[in-house]
Amino acid sequence: MWHKHKVLVTGSAGFIGHHLMLALRGPGGSIVGLDLLNEYYDPALKYGRLALQGFSKTHIKYNTLVHSDEDEAMSFIQLDLVDEKALDDLFREQQFDIVVNLAAQAGVRYSLEHPQSYVASNLVGFANLLEACRKYPIKHFLFASSSSVYGLNHEVPFATKHNTNLPVSFYAATKKANEVMAHSYSHLYNLPVSGLRFFTVYGPWGRPDMAYFSFARAIMEGTPIRIFNNGEMYRDFTFISDVVEGIVRLLFVAPKAGTTVGSTAPYTIYNIGNSSPEHLLEMVAILERLLHKKGTLDLQPMQPGDVPITFADTQELTATTGFKPSIALEDGLSHFVDWFKTYYREQYQYAKT
C-alpha cells in the first residue's frame, strides 16, 4: 500500500517534520518536504536537519523542487503556504495522496508580542492548504494541533471530548481555529481529516525556544533559568520518536464519516502525549545530572498565556493504532543531551568522546 502513495510533509525542516521525513525515508512511496525556512529561530538548525535529509543549502531556491542525495524518492521545496498560486501549482503537479501539515508559526510566548505572524502562517496558510486539498483531492489530511487548545479546561487528563473554547494565548486560538476550519472542509467536501494535539514534544534537533532546550543552554552558560508559576508547572513531555510513531501509524487510518460524536464528517482528533506529567523542576534536575553542572533558578509568577499543567488522555490513539507513547523523561533527555553536546561541542568546549 505504501509504495503507491505520495506524501507531502509541510514544515519538513522543523523539529517534528524533520524526524518524520527520516522515519518515512527508505523503501516505499515518495515524499515531498515543504518549508518556508523563516528565521523565527536559528536557521542553521533547519539547514542542518535538511542536510541530514540529503538536501544541500546551496541547491535550495524558493519554489524549486530539489531531490535528496540520500533517497531519490525524497524531494524538498522552499515555499510559503501563504503563496496561494505556488501552492496550487505544486498540488496540481504532484497529485499528493496524503498531506501532513506540520508548518506553523510556533510558540505561546512569541504570540503575545507578534500575533500578526500567526495570522499569516497559521490561518491564511492553513486555509490555502485546505483549499488545495479540496481542489486536488487527497486520501487523508493530518495536521498539527496542540495541547494548548485546552486553555482554561481544568479536567485532567485532557480528553478530546473536553471543552476547548477558552484558549489563553493567541497561538492556541489559531490552533483551535485550524481544528474548526478543517472540520468545515471535512464536512463540506468529504475530506478525511485527523487533527493531532501534540503535548510538549522534546528531543534531539529540537526548537531552541522550548523549555528543555533553553534550560540546557542556560545551565551551560551560567544564566538564570526562568520558570513561571514559581516552579509549580507540570508538563506531559513527549519524546520525538513517540510522536513520530503516532503520526506514522495514523497515515493510512483515515477517519470514517461520523467518527466524531455529533458530526457526520470523516473527521477526528487525537491527543499524542506521554500521559505522565512531570514537574518542571524535576526536568531541570535531570538536565543538571546529565550536563554535570548546576543551574540557577529564577522563579517567576505565572505568565499570561500559560497553563500550570498539561496531561494527555490518549485513549483514541491507542484504540485506533494500538500504540501509546511511553518513553520516560530521563531516557529522552539523555538522548537530547547526547545530541546537544555534539552540536554545541565547540561552543561549550565539550571533550570529544
Instruction: Please identify every residue annotated as catalytic.
Output: 171
Count how many Cα atoms sit within 13 Å of the Cα of residue 289 in the half-sphere of its side chain.
10
- Write out the three cell numbers for 297: 533558578
% helix / strand / coil in the chain, to the nearest 5?
A: 40, 15, 40
Helix (H, G, I), strand (E, B) or coil at 39: coil
Q: In angstroms, how far is the first alpha carbon of the chain from the final one?
A: 43
- Do residues 310 and 273 lie in contact, with contact meaning Cβ atoms separated by under 8 Å? yes
- Write out the three cell numbers for 187: 464536512
What span, in angstroms and rounded, lies between the C-alpha atoms of 48 and 96?
26
What span, in angstroms and rounded, lies between the C-alpha atoms of 18 and 12?
5
Helix (H, G, I), strand (E, B) or coil at 274: coil
- Do residues 51 and 20 lie in contact, with contact meaning Cβ atoms separated by under 8 Å? no
What span, in angstroms and rounded, lies between the C-alpha atoms of 154 and 152?
6
Helix (H, G, I), strand (E, B) or coil at 167: coil
Q: Which residue has the cell 515555499?
A: 79
Q: What is the dihedral of CA 157, 160, 162, 168, to 10 degrees?
A: 90
What span, in angstroms and rounded, lies between the C-alpha atoms of 145 and 299?
29
- Do residues 228 and 303 lie in contact, with contact meaning Cβ atoms separated by under 8 Å? yes
